A and B are shown apart, each in its own frame.
Chain A
Amino acid sequence: MHVALALAKKISTCLSLFMNDRLTPESEIFRALADPTRRLLLERLSASERNATELRDGLSISQPAISQHIAVLRGAGLIEEEKQGRQIRYRIRPEGLSPVVDWLTRYRAFWPARVDKLKALLKEMDQ
């Protein structure tokens, strides 16, 4: 029984890992974010959920191009879609941004430490 429980737990852990957002490669997320148009679309979605037409509103971008950008953002786990009647609404997936949060956290600690080293180096260069 104990073994079975342990096994069940392990399987469920594996499954949850498999479903975990973090399995989306970081590179895919960052590549998705590197494009100015996709960032703009994300900013629009961060204000409110929209359909593709609303997303495209006022932009000189073709509908196929918008679809392409939406596909990339979805593939990277940054947005999700929901069918409402005949239309598809897109919304941001906040948890999809967690690798970006990790990145920000890491470098917010990294740079001040390096700048301390730079200051020390500048003092050494005096001698």
Chain B
Amino acid sequence: MSTTEEEILKENIVLEYTLDAPPEKVWRALTVPELAASWLGTQEHQPEHRPEHRPEHRNDDPAYELLDTTPFSRVRYAWRDAGTDMPETLVTFEISPAPDGNTRFRLTHSVRATPPLAANCNGAPIARAA
């Protein structure tokens, strides 16, 4: 098996950036619904289309749902692809202070089963045995 296939099996997307803004501000962009929608560009943008009535091919934009938050540190979204029968995936945003008032920003998009909503409290165990 090639390295590529091993990478595929991990099937996580991890991206890291340093953002030119303080963590408090990035936090708002991640958690205030209107702000999040403006950069994630999801279906919440066009409520007049009532996506729940025609979910199949409305557009290619995914939809998301806030799962849990750890203030100024972590936000997790359940992620859905429109127009496919993909199950939910998990998007995790982690932020921390960086020098010069910037923010370290880490995005993880994984296919692992999204945690059940019952475990929706802050400080829930992050890692599962793999």
**A47/B39 in contact, CB under 8 A:** no
**B85/A26 in contact, CB under 8 A:** yes
**B8/A104 in contact, CB under 8 A:** yes
A-binding segment of B11-19, B45-53, B70-78: B11-19
By size class, the interface of chain B is 35 or more
- Nearest Cβ in chain A — how far from B88, in angstroms? 9
Mostly helix, strand, loop or mixed at chain B's interface? mixed
By size class, the interface of chain A is 35 or more
Contact with B along A6-35 (1 / 0, CB 8 A): 000000000000000000011100110111
Which residue among A39, A107, A123 has the maximum number of chain B CB atoms within 10 Å of its CB?
Answer: A107
B-binding segment of A63-71, A82-90, A94-102: A94-102
Q: Which A residues lie within 8 Å of B86 (CB)? A: 26-27, 30, 103
Measured CB to CB, the residues of A under 8 A from B are 25-27, 30-31, 33-36, 39-40, 42-43, 46-47, 92, 94, 97, 100-101, 103-104, 107-108, 111-112, 114-115, 117-123, 125
9 A/B residue pairs, CB under 8 Å, sorted by A? A27-B87, A30-B86, A33-B11, A34-B87, A46-B9, A115-B107, A122-B19, A122-B21, A125-B25
